[in-house]
Structures are given as C-alpha cells and as structure tokens.
Amino acid sequence: MNEEVKIAQVIVNSSANDLNRIFDYKIPEGYEIGKNIDIGYRVLVSFANYKSLEIGYIIGFKKESEYKCKTISRVCDKTFDDNRLEIAKWMAKRYFCNFSDVLKLLVPPGTKTKIDKVNIKYERFVKLTEHFLNSQDEFKIRSDKQKRIIEFLKDNKEIPASILYEVTDTNSAVVKTLADKNICESFKVEVLRNPFFAKHVKRDEAPELSEEQKSIINSISINKFNEYLIYGVTGSGKTEIYLNLIDQVIKQNKTAIILVPEISLTPQITDRFLARFGRIIAILHSKLSNGERYDEWRRIDSGEAKIVIGARSALFAPVKDLGIIIIDEEHDSSYKSETTPKYDAREVARVMAQKADIPLVLGSATPDIRSYYKAENTDDIKLLKLTKRVSSAGMPTVKTVDMRKELAQGNKTVLSKELYEELKKNLENKEQTMLFLNRRGYSTFIMCRDCGYVVKCDKCDVAMTYHITKNKLLCHYCGAEKQNVTICPVCGSENIRYFGTGTQKIEQALNKIFPEASIIRMDIDTTNVKNGHEIILNRFKNEKIDILLGTQMITKGHDFSNVTLVGVLAADSSMNISDYRASERTFQLITQVCGRAGRGDKKGRAIIQTYMPDEFVIQMAEKQDYLSFYKSEIKVREKLNYPPFCDIMIGVLMGPNESTVKNDAKLFYDIFKEHFELFNPMPAPISKVNDNFRWRVLGKMQMNDKNIDLINICLDNFEQLKSKDTRLNFDINPNNMN
C-alpha cells in the first residue's frame, strides 16, 4: 500500500440528513489500494456510539485526516466502480437525497444489511475416483444398486447427486458405501440459481425485416451517443428492431441493457431473447428471490451474461463494456421511482449513455408527451417512425359504445349489447378475448343508502374497497383490513349498497353470463405469488383460456396471436383524476390495450365502453390517432404552462399533528417562494394516510443546474427549521399528484 495514503473516505449507510457526508477511517494493516481495498468497496465501521457495526462505502482516499479516526473494522467486497460512483453522485444531487440512498441501488441484491442474508448455493456432485478408474484391483460389487451407479458414472463422469439418485433409483447410503470402498466420491460444487430453469425455449432465426424496420436500424449508430425515439404503432415490430441492434452490439463483444415497465412483460420478452440469444441473458426484477437476483447479478458482474432485461432497477446492474440501452414502452409511469431516491430511469439512462458514448433507444406506440415534444422540436432526440403492423391482419377495428344509451335501453349489465355479441362470437370461433378494467377488487366503496355513511379506513381519508374473495374491506393506501359491513354503524340500517365495479365483480358477472367460458383474472391480487404473472400468461396461452380479464398489467407488450377481441370497460374512469396528465394516461391505456387485438393473421376488433363518448381523448383513442391527440394536448399544455414547458415541483408534508404539519407547510412555502413560483399550501387531496395528516405545496420551475442547487439549499434550510415530527416527501414531476 502507498505509505502516504492512510485514510479512506467513507459514506455511512444512513437516511439521516445530518449523516449525509463523508467520514474518515484508517485503512487496516495489510490492505493495499488496488489489490484488496479500493473505491467502491463495502466496509463495516464502528460509528458514533452505536453498539453494532454500520455499513459504509469507500468513495475516496487521502493521506491524512484532521480528525482522530477509527479504523475500518471489516472490508467486505467491491460493489461499484468509478463510473457508477460518478452516476451516484449525480443522482444524489439531482434527486435531492442522501448519497447512501443512491449507493444502495448499486450493491448486489441481498447485501444491503450488516450481515448478508444471501448465501452461496452449493450442490453435491458424485464421480468415480481416479483410484477406481486406474486401478487393476478387483472390486467386489454384488449390489445391483451399486452396479447401476458405477455404470451410470462411467458414462457421465460427474453428475449432481439428486439426478444420480433419481435415474438409478438409489440414495446417499449407497454412494457412501461406494465411497468407503474408494470407488466414488461426493463433493460440493458452487452453482448459480437459475430463474430460467423451467424454461424450454427453442432457438429461432431472425425473420425478414420490413422496409421500415430496416430503415430505422440503418438510422441508429451503435458506436456513439445519440438518443432515439421509435414511435411505432402497436404490433409494428419494435422488439425485432431491439433484437437486431443488440445482436450488432454483442458481435462487438459489448453488452446491452433493455428495460421493460412491468414485471408482467418480462416473461414474454425474456422468451423472445432466449430464443434469439440463448443463455447469455440475465433478468432482474423484484419477483425473483433474493438468491436468484444475487446470482444473476454475479453472472452480469463476471461477464457471463451479456444482455440484462428487467424493470428500472436493472439499469444499475454491474455491466461491463456497455454498448446500448433500450427502454421499451418509454411512456410508462413505472420508470419513475416513487420511493427514495425518486429517480427517472429515462434521465439516468441518458446520463449513462452520454458517459459511455453509446446510443439510448426509446420505443412506444404512445410516447410520453415530453419525449415526443423534444423529438419534434429539439436536436436532443431523433424521431424514427413505424407506421405499419408487421402482421397481415393490419390494425384492429375499434368502436366506441355509449353506455348512457345502454342504460336508457334497460341494459344494466357490465357488458354492452355489442360487446356481448362479439364475445359470444369469439367463444363460438374458439378465439380469445382480453377485457380491461383499471380497478381491482369487487366494489370501489360501500355506502348506507339510508343515511349516506361510507365505510372509510380508520387511518386514511379514503373509502375502503370490498374484496369478495376475502369477504373483507381493504385500504389500498395503508393495507388495513376490516370485516365486511352488513349493518350501518351510524343508523343501524341493513340497506347497504356496493357501489362501483372492480375486476372481481366483473369476473363474477362474466361467469354468470358465459358459464361455459374459461376465464382468468390478472391483477395485483392474483399475481402476488412467485412467478404469478408468468403462470397466468402461460395458462392463457397454452390452455387456450377464452377470456383474460385484467388491470393495467394486460394493457401493453403482450403478444397473443389468437386474441382477436379486446373490450375496454369504464374507459373514462382514469379521466376523472386531479392530474394534468389524466387525458394522456387515458389515451395511452386505451390505445395500448386495443393494440393487443389482431396481432396474428386474424383481424382484430376492440370495443370501448364509455359514459363520455364525445370526449376528444376517447375519440382519438378509437381512431388510434396519437398524432392528433398529441397536437391537441400540447396546445393545452403550452397555454397552461404544464410540462414539457415547465417542471412541476411538489412537497407533501406529513405528520401525526395536523396543526404542526400545516405550520411546516407554510414554512416550506416561505423558504421556496423566494426562488420559485408556488401555489399556497393546501390539504392534500388525500388528507390523511396511516394516521398521518398531509398538506401539499405545488410549484412550477425549470430543471437546470442553477435551480437544482437552489432546491438543495432550500431543502437543507427547511430540514433544519421544521418540526421533528414532520416528514417531507419532495419530488419533481411525480407520478402521483396526491
């Protein structure tokens, strides 16, 4: 070790703002920079008066310290390199959080605690001994089981013990007897947990590309930074373009990251990539076990895996020689984190691509308004278009049904007459249907029809949702449960009514209307088990189930050739929310789910059920006309000065005492109003969650380096002056305005 360098600069793993700084620690004896200790190493240190050791990360070194320093207690492992450290520094400043909060994203899964919970997995193998193979001695083998093991091992050299026992119908006792005779030996081998273990995907060849696909591929340079937006109608072959671009990158011995918005999308895209590239892919998402994610991380770190597929956190995988980043369905809100650090994967990917001098490719049939605006009006993003479907069936036929007229004609069921007839036709033709409703549960709220009492969560200012499978009321904000209410607790009436419709209620109604049909439901309640998404999608495909009913999980990315009908129930439900993006999100949802119909050779149809058929959003979704919707929406945004013409700042103050929270909201307003355009503090739309009162301050600003610095200063000032009981949830351009 360089004798002059004695001090390691360590960030301690803490969410406390006053610990968001660098601490000096002595380097232990016997450690040498560049060999067994370096920048990016995870360490355990004695900190303050804490009884236990704390996790820290080395981010630098220096010769001496002006403080009396403790020595690092334990050096663990290297978790990130200099490039990823620079990204982390940028993210901490840009997303107004502690440096350690960002560093947690960069460490291997399961190693964020003081004692690592993920163990290396070993499997026992068996093989014949060299003594037996080379010996001239006679071995007396009388047992048939022993003979079977020896003959099998002669053909297979070494084999997992579990397979050996199954094939030869033996057990460990027989192997031990042979081991005592020095005929065979058993030993442990480290193995990686394989999330693809049960997958058997045939390798395929790249199909002939359309002229539009070829043109786009030729327009993308994979050897320098540029940002591209592929705007392609649903079913136009964007995934095949991704596969082709990644193939070029792999041939240059580089690696690729492809992000998908929903875990439910991962199985299908994984199958496509396995079929094309084999086992050089790794997947990362929250539904894997800690052990599976840890081993996938190690495969990526070792260079065995060249392609990383996953949700937004896959962006931080330890890839080497990164050659391209692709973000599929780039408009999706899941790319923006709602927990600290509140990063936008699209922004982080842009910085990563710039630093690596590689292309960033975004793709969507319904691009984010901000992305499309930049592509049309700046040089920051190059716009590439796919206008035709690759299937011979072409785009689906879409029709809107006015549910007000259905009611007037006496139809009070969940299905319009037209959707009923089309569903019936599909069942007769053995074709599949997808039905979309953006509400899980059975009923959205329960009310007494005599006194108007609505059952609300005791801890939150929201109505509870009835779930028929549990026969309970659930709060979708804090997770609280209540027994179902059959008698009004206020007036004692039994006249309790279930209002609204959720996926469970639709499923029950469909079973009554079409008792002969097979129906499967896909929402958060049915996919909360391991591989839940994949199990449902595989059943729908392989068992040829008639109807797939689901929430947003089914709206994008899925490609089933036998789905010829899509029904959108309550299409206007997402329009009535207090968010400037309500129209955009409604258009995206309807357009995306309608695009699931007719992906094969059969013509697709889609029916949109709505109580607001005259709304421009609904009309444009029916026409699948993104460009007309965009031109109208961008004029509204410009007039009202909404993104992309500004950025929205939001501060939500939360605490157990409403008066204190209100005062701190005023304090926040007073500190920030000196620099930014703010609206007066108001109670948040959901004014209480989990026994915490909530006040909100909204503002508009332009995100640039100067304003980022100002915000960090204002936040530091506010933290020093606010009440200890008040928590601040601060974000820029959040997904949720509540």
Residue 574 and residue 436 share a domain: yes
pLDDT at 251: 96
pLDDT at 3: 58
Distant-in-sequence, close-in-space partners of 75: CB < 8 Å, separation ≥ 6: 28, 31, 36, 37, 41, 43
Distant-in-sequence, close-in-space partners of 18: CB < 8 Å, separation ≥ 6: none
**What CATH number did the domain enclosing 699 receive?**
3.30.70.600
Q: What is the CB-side half-sphere exposure of residue 361 using CA atoms within 13 A?
A: 30
pLDDT in tens, 701-710: 999 999 999 9
pLDDT at 50: 82
Residue 721 and residue 671 share a domain: yes
pLDDT at 196: 67
Closest CA to 566 of 621, 524, 605, 615: 605
Distant-in-sequence, close-in-space partners of 182: CB < 8 Å, separation ≥ 6: 129, 131, 132
CA angle 184, 190, 193 (to 5 degrees): 125
Taking only Cα atoms into account, the Rg of the chain, rounded to an integer number of angstroms, comes to: 30
- As a whole number of angstroms, the distance between CA 626 and CA 184 comes to 68
Token pair belonging to 588: 């995206």
pLDDT at 16: 67
Residue 338 and residue 300 share a domain: yes
Q: Helix (H, G, I), strand (E, B), or coil: what is residue 578?
A: coil
Alpha carbon separation from 344 to 427, 664, 705 (Å, rounded): 43, 28, 17
Torsion on CA atoms 87, 90, 93, 96, rounded to nearest 10: -40
DSSP secondary structure string, 617-668?
HHHHHHTT-HHHHHHHHHHHHHHHT-TTSSEEEEEEEEES-HHHHHHHHHHH
- As a whole number of angstroms, the distance between CA 720 and CA 400 comes to 55
Burial category of 614 from C-beta neighbours within 10 Å (exposed 0-12, middle 13-18, buried 19 and up): exposed
- As a whole number of angstroms, the distance between CA 248 and CA 245 comes to 5
Distant-in-sequence, close-in-space partners of 724: CB < 8 Å, separation ≥ 6: none
Residue 414 and residue 557 share a domain: yes
Residue 135 and residue 102 share a domain: no
**Tokens 């189930």 correspond to what residue?**
545
Domain stop point among 572, 604, 637: 637
The 3-state secondary structure of 21-69 reads CEEEEECCCCCCECCCECCCEEEEECCCCCCCCEEEEEEEEECCCCCCC
- As a whole number of angstroms, the distance between CA 122 and CA 684 comes to 52
Q: What's the N-to-C CA distance of the chain in angstroms?
A: 54
Phi, psi of 656 (to 5 degrees): -75, -15
Is residue 582 assigned to a domain?
yes
Burial category of 242 from C-beta neighbours within 10 Å (exposed 0-12, middle 13-18, buried 19 and up): buried
Is residue 605 assigned to a domain?
yes
Is residue 493 assigned to a domain?
no
Closest CA to 622 of 609, 635, 611, 634: 609
Closest CA to 57 of 75, 78, 43: 43
**What CATH number did the domain enclosing 182 receive?**
1.10.10
Instruction: Classify strands 22-26 and 322-328 as parallel, antiparallel or unpaired.
Output: unpaired
Domain stop point among 605, 637, 669: 637
Residue 270 and residue 132 share a domain: no
Residue 601 and residue 563 share a domain: yes
- As a whole number of angstroms, the distance between CA 46 and CA 70 comes to 7
Residue 375 and residue 404 share a domain: no
Is residue 458 assigned to a domain?
no
- As a whole number of angstroms, the distance between CA 225 and CA 22 comes to 33
Is residue 728 assigned to a domain?
yes
Residue 422: CB atoms within 10 Å: 21
pLDDT in tens, 41-79: 989 999 888 888 888 999 999 999 998 999 999 998 888
Q: Helix (H, G, I), strand (E, B), or coil: what is residue 605?
A: strand
pLDDT at 730: 96
Name residue 124's amino acid: R
- As a whole number of angstroms, the distance between CA 95 and CA 644 comes to 18
**Tokens 């929201």 correspond to what residue?**
462
pLDDT at 1: 46
Alpha carbon separation from 298 to 122, 204, 578 (Å, rounded): 15, 27, 44
DSSP secondary structure string, 280-310?
GEEEE-TTS-HHHHHHHHHHHHHTS--EEEE
* 8 Å CB contact between 621 and 608: yes
Domain stop point among 577, 609, 637: 637
- For the chain, what is the domain count? 5
DSSP secondary structure string, 122-165?
EEEEEEE-HHHHH--S------HHHHHHHHHHHHHSEEEHHHHH
Token pair belonging to 213: 């696909």
Mean pLDDT by 10 residues, the chain (738 residues): 78 75 92 91 88 89 91 90 92 93 85 62 90 77 89 87 91 93 90 69 84 96 96 93 97 96 77 90 85 88 94 93 97 94 97 97 97 96 94 90 93 94 96 88 74 87 82 85 90 83 88 96 83 85 93 83 94 79 94 92 95 93 96 96 96 96 97 95 91 95 96 95 96 89
- As a whole number of angstroms, the distance between CA 608 and CA 399 comes to 6
Q: What is the CB-side half-sphere exposure of residue 155 using CA atoms within 13 A?
A: 8
Residue 382 and residue 244 share a domain: yes
Distant-in-sequence, close-in-space partners of 474: CB < 8 Å, separation ≥ 6: 441, 464, 465, 466, 467, 480, 481
pLDDT in tens, 428-456: 999 999 999 987 655 667 888 888 888 88
Kindly state the DSSP code that residue 452 receives in the 8-state scheme: -
**What CATH number did the domain enclosing 44 receive?**
3.40.1440.60
**Tokens 């119909």 correspond to what residue?**
597
Distant-in-sequence, close-in-space partners of 709: CB < 8 Å, separation ≥ 6: none
**Tokens 């920051």 correspond to what residue?**
380
Is residue 56 assigned to a domain?
yes
Phi, psi of 465 (to 5 degrees): -105, 135
Residue 364 and residue 220 share a domain: yes
Token pair belonging to 364: 């969507």
**What CATH number did the domain enclosing 507 receive?**
3.40.50.300
Alpha carbon separation from 124 to 171, 186, 561 (Å, rounded): 13, 7, 43
Is residue 1 assigned to a domain?
no
Residue 248 and residue 219 share a domain: yes
- How many helices and strands in the chain, by DSSP H and E? 21, 31
- Range of the structural domain that residue 58 is part of: 7-106
- As a whole number of angstroms, the distance between CA 666 and CA 670 comes to 6
Residue 544 and residue 613 share a domain: yes
Token pair belonging to 534: 């994949």
Is residue 711 assigned to a domain?
yes
Burial category of 105 from C-beta neighbours within 10 Å (exposed 0-12, middle 13-18, buried 19 and up): buried
